[in-house]
Amino acid sequence: MYITFDIGGTKMRVGASVDLKSFICDPKIIPTPREFDEGINTLETIVLNMTKGAKVKAVAGGIAGIMNEEKTELSYSPNRKLRGWEKRPLKGELAKRLGCNVDIANDTAVVGLGEAHRGAGIGYNIVTYITVSTGVGGTRIVDGRIDRRIYGFEPGHQTIDIDNSVWEGSASGQLEDLISGGALEKRFGMKPYEIEDDDLWERQLPDLLACGLANTIMHWSPDVVVLGGSMIIGKPAISIRSTKEALTKILTMYPKLPEIKKAQCGDFGGLYGGLALIKQRI
């Protein structure tokens, strides 16, 4: 039996597989416990219920935030709901309780890996995955593997508004503080899905996203850029068509731009990515 997990700031997902292709039952989705000890106990209980006594051969998954250099624990999470998980022995505790090897990585990196193997990134050698949700994250997948890194990839924290001319309320001028769901809620005082402003969704946000994508494409030079997250696949959503048009005007030095595609794995990209991590190890 193989176990894969995805620990986000809001939800925790857990799946079990015997063939590293499909799940033996519907993955379990629950609110993420705020404290590490409760979270580990909950994970262990879910796994025991799923496996029904079968031996767990390997575990892999993602958690939202920056990993330490050894990839054994969450070093820092921008999500306040996961502060209780920081600097706690996630890998070691799971390995001890489940009696097997455990691999963990940033949740967005694992979702991107899932898209590369099971979603919109299939067939491409270099995949950039960008998620625009409560925050903005991203990863680079090369030849089906998460690219080498010391801590992790954070394209959402690139500065694109140096003088705060886009929005004075953004202290950092970073991409995440301009286009994420959290940023919009702070700026407009309502949930993104409550904002009915065609110019925002069809021009303002696509222009800003295109600026961030242009920087990322020039740094990472991918075959395809896969866009996911609630601000991309929800309703209303940042227009991918308008984003492509804006990107074409910015990136004129390349003879051909990478494909820009919408994510396809839905809620389970991180779980599919976890299966890919296990398969690569064994």
9, burial (CB in 10 Å: exposed 0-12, middle 13-18, buried 19+): buried
Both 72 and 150 in a single domain? no
Number of domains in the chain: 2
CA distance 107 to 79: 12
User: How confident is residue 155, by pLDDT bands cut at 50, 70 and 90?
Assistant: very high
pLDDT band for position 79 (cuts 50, 70, 90): confident
**Whether the predicted pLDDT of 198 surpasses 80:** yes
Shared-domain flag, residues 92 and 175: no
pLDDT at residue 63 in the model: 95
Query: Could you tell me if 34 and 145 lie in one domain?
Result: no
CATH code of the domain in which 248 resides: 3.30.420.40
Query: 129 in a domain, yes or no?
Result: yes
Q: Does residue 113 form part of some domain?
A: no
Asked if residue 115 is part of any domain, the answer here is: no
SS3 label, residue 220: helix
Same-domain status, 238 and 272: no
The boundaries of the domain holding residue 133 are 120-264
* Same domain? 208 vs 226: yes
Whether residue 252 contacts residue 239, with contact meaning beta carbons closer than 8 Å, is answered with no
Is residue 9 predicted with pLDDT exceeding 90?
no
17 within domain boundaries: yes
Rg of the chain over all Cα atoms, to the nearest angstrom? 19
Q: Are 270 and 2 in contact (CB under 8 A)?
A: no
This prediction's pTM: 0.93
Q: Do residues 151 and 226 share a domain?
A: yes
Asked if 276 and 160 sit in the same domain, the reply is no
